[in-house]
Structure 1
Amino acid sequence: MLIAVFTIQHPVLGGALRAVPSAEASWEETYSSDDVLTQMLFWVTCEEASDFDAFEEAVGETSAVRNLVEFAEVDDRRLYRVDFTEEGRRTNLMSEFIGVGAVLQSATGTADGWRCRVRFPDREGYRRLFEVCEAHDIPFRFERIYEQTSVDADGGSTLTDPQRETLLAAVESGYLDIPRAVSLAELGERLGVSQRSASERFRRGVKKLIREHL
């Protein structure tokens, strides 16, 4: 088995995520109840409560989804469901995953696109997905591909790139040392973000690692 990590600029929620850069979406499930209805469940986190309102408004202006419904709010996250429009169904990659025997293990959407982690049975399946993205004019940025081992057989980490960057910087800069070598504000400066943003990235990254591995 192969694990491929890549980022795609997919039309589903892409415009809304770019409109509200603080929003981060985590794919939960995509399913079809009949030939014309495809729905997706996903979680969203935002830095400010008002950003959720801005995100919901931005989703209403996109062409790939409609009928946004909020199902739950837990801590700083909200669970939503959307229906795919014809454009969303046409570019839906789930059928392609199934067709090549692939499994979508995680997908995290930000203003930079959807970062996906997919398990493929072979490289031919990966090449097929890349060709489908090209055919639908979906920008595709490869990150890495590697053989799955027993260590990561359960799916591995789904940290976003900013979260991974923040956690690594925290270790390298001595933020986790006792006593701390740098303050949270200095960590933010190192990353080129505000103290609040650095704190949010660090907290969400740690929470995600704990949920996935403990």
Structure 2
Amino acid sequence: MFTGIIQAVGSIASREEHSGGLRLAIGAGALDLGDVAIGDSIAVAGVCLTVVAIEGTRWFADLSAETLARTTLGGLAVGARVNLEKALRLADRLGGHLVSGHVDGIGTVLAIDDEGASQRWRFRIPRALARYIAVKGSICVDGTSLTVNEAGEEAFGVTLIPHTLAVTTFGARAVGDAVNIEVDLMARYAERLAGVPPDAA
């Protein structure tokens, strides 16, 4: 589990295709790997990946065909910057919201508008995910926990403060970019408990 509070911005150091999957080497940037072991989980742009090797300030992860089909990671070039967060420990503060690192779909940046020192961002999303997004609820975009300001049938909006823009990859994003979206876990559990079929919207 994760919190959606980005700990560092890293980069894709290398890509190696193999057996229908992909091995990525990820430069850790300022992320401390001193307490990371083989088998640990690190979220990369919101995607929970397992550490399979560590070499200095780089670590390696294997991506399955399923991960490549459901996330933006397969399309990232060497040098691309990515948000990083180590898995939540029970003693950690929960500064964002509970994030699983299991991406629900890919969204697209629709608009970026200045609002004083902050920015209002709007994202297009698959219609099937819109039902799980509510105003003042939580959403995870590329691994970052954000509060929803507006919610529609095919889009939602958030406000990004200067700190978020400075410590995540959002500062280098542009309209048209693809992003990983994970809806709030609680919304999915509430739907399950209510017995509502996922395609009943």
Taking structure 2 as the reference length, what is the TM-score of the superposition?
0.33
Structure with bigger gyration radius: 1
Question: Higher helix fraction: Structure 1 or Structure 2?
Answer: 1
Q: Which has the higher strand share?
A: 2
Q: TM-score if structure 1 supplies the norm length?
A: 0.32
